[in-house]
Structure 1
Amino acid sequence: MTNSLKTKTIIIFSGYRRIRLIVKVADTQSKIEQGLMFVETLPENEGMLFVFPREIYGGFWMKNTFIPLSIAFVDSDGEILKIMDMAPCIGDICPIYDPQISYHYAIEVNWGWFEKNQIKEGDYVKFDGTLMS
């Protein structure tokens, strides 16, 4: 993953369980646009956290993304509103994965990570400290 990004640990609360996830933080327009493009592997319990300056509406695409990913769309309170799976796409014609809701954060992980860890819509994310640079 991109080394210039800061790393944070987030905790996802699912019932009585707490699941730790190490994320690289994309909190500027250029970092958000780059995302996980050209990344060839993603360690099992690592991902990317996209931090938007305000709630937004719209989708993600997988242009030049080599690995299949799952994405959680999270509101400003930390509630996971929607989880989607996204297929890799090389080239210029890639589908847009639009949750059709507004959200403040998005978390990308390896395909199936949320399901494997029994994390579902309605669970909560706790962010450790400040996220913005």
Structure 2
Amino acid sequence: MENRLNRLRKSMEESAFKELCFSEKMRSEVHKQINRPDESEEMVTLAILQLLHNEKTGYELTGLLRARGFQKFEGKEGFLYTILHRLEQKGWIVSAWKEEGTKVYLVGDKGKRYLRKQGKSMAATRNTIKGLLEE
């Protein structure tokens, strides 16, 4: 497959993109956008549910989301708690207060079902794309 992609790139460079020229700054911006994770509400929800297989505080969750590249919470840490509250109201996560006064969150049964459903949907999408690339 790598060979086919190289041939495609060479073909495109020789025809469709022959006249195009990007500055280094523009290339850098394009790479930033390509490598930036999808920060739609659905993707953030999926990431949160995946991370809450073990109990975590909101603070821990914020750090883990940042480590995954989500920037939606930069300077707006309270936004995460709004999402957590919404997920809790839907029954997708559960929370509990620890003795030391910290609140922890954990994915609930509804959240696990949602994750399984999304996993199957994503697997089907990956298989479709893989099939298209192999033709």
TM-score range (shorter-chain normalised) is under 0.3
Answer 1 or 2: which has greater strand percent. 1
Q: Relative CO higher for 1 or 2, CA cutoff 8 Å, sep ≥ 6?
A: 1
Answer 1 or 2: which has greater helix percent. 2
Larger radius of gyration: 2
TM-score of the superposition, structure 2-length normalised?
0.25
